[in-house]
Amino acid sequence: PPPRPAALLRWDEVPEDFVECFILSGYRRLHCSAQECLASVLQPTNETLNFWTHFIPLLLFLSRFGRLLLLRGAGYYGFASTVAYSYYLLPGLSLLDAGAMSRYVQQRLGWQLDCSLPIAAYRVLVLPVALALAVGCTAACCRSRAACCAYPFAVRTFVFAMPLSMACPIMLESLLFDLRARNPTLFVYFYRRYFWLLVAAFFNVSKIPERIQPGLFDIVGHSHQLFHIFTFLSIYDQVHYVEDGLAEFLKAPLAAPTYLGTVGYMLLLTVCLAVVVRKFLSVADLCKQD
């Protein structure tokens, strides 16, 4: 017979490390078996919707990723999403055309500038900087879980926002080259994504609505669930403009991305993140022993 649902606990019945701000009830008991954990995804705990707001978007994105792989010619490059990101981060934008940028600066400011050198430097540095940023943000997020961190939610929100700086080329193009007229689809998805991210950050930092009425939103409607939902909406819009970028890339392909510059960076990033997480878990185990 299936196990009976365990009684849910209040905030004062679980260790302090497990207590969420302004969430008073709905906590699962500790040390659940794997079967109990699986059963709990259908039980009304304060974590149930957290799971589903992860799992449902995961299924959706897997289906969208499958669609990317089926696009004509995408299989040639090995990893469609990487190609799409490379399109937006590297040579596909008007911003990264040295001739166009030089003419724009000359027309607007009257300066005679050769933009080829800084643009070439950007193309060389963008992937290493993105890699370092991803590793640094993961380390900071792990560090925010330590007891000595005074403002963990502020740190996590900063970590959440920092990688967005990698989208600066699109933002600059929208300001300098009238992206709204040239590519209205990209313009709408890009800026709507940032709106969703601002809303998600607001809920993550403010802890609204449970801060206003502690105990009322323990199971449904607390800020972490809203954070998941609006983050999902932002990534969904991002997927749309990545698909649009890939379609444009396949119409007029530039130099094919290299294995080292695509899959190689992904594998290196995976290893680095695994090392960071492993290091954090080792430190956490030592702290518990002390």
Per the annotation, binding residues for Zn(2+) are 224, 228
Sorted by sequence, the CB contacts under 8 Å of residue 263 that are 6+ apart come out as 78, 79, 82
Report the distance separating Cα 20 and Cα 185, nearest Å: 39
Classify the C-alpha dihedral 8-148-203-184 as positive or negative.
negative
Q: What are the residue ranges of helices labelled H in 71-167?
A: 80-89, 98-109, 116-143, 152-161
CB 131 within 8 A of CB 272: yes
Q: Per the annotation, where are the binding residues? A: 224, 228
Report the distance separating Cα 221 and Cα 246, nearest Å: 36
Q: For residue 160, how many other CB atoms are within 10 A of its CB?
A: 18
Report the distance separating Cα 23 and Cα 215, nearest Å: 6
Report the distance separating Cα 17 and Cα 11, nearest Å: 10
Angle at 198 between CA 229 and CA 205, to 5 degrees: 80
Q: Hey, what are 159's tokens?
A: 């970590």
The string over 162-176, giving b where at least 16 C-beta atoms fall within 10 Å of a residue's C-beta and e elsewhere, is eeeebbebbbbbbee
The string over 45-57, giving b where at least 16 C-beta atoms fall within 10 Å of a residue's C-beta and e elsewhere, is bbbbbbeebeeeb
Beta-strand (E) ranges in the chain?
Answer: none
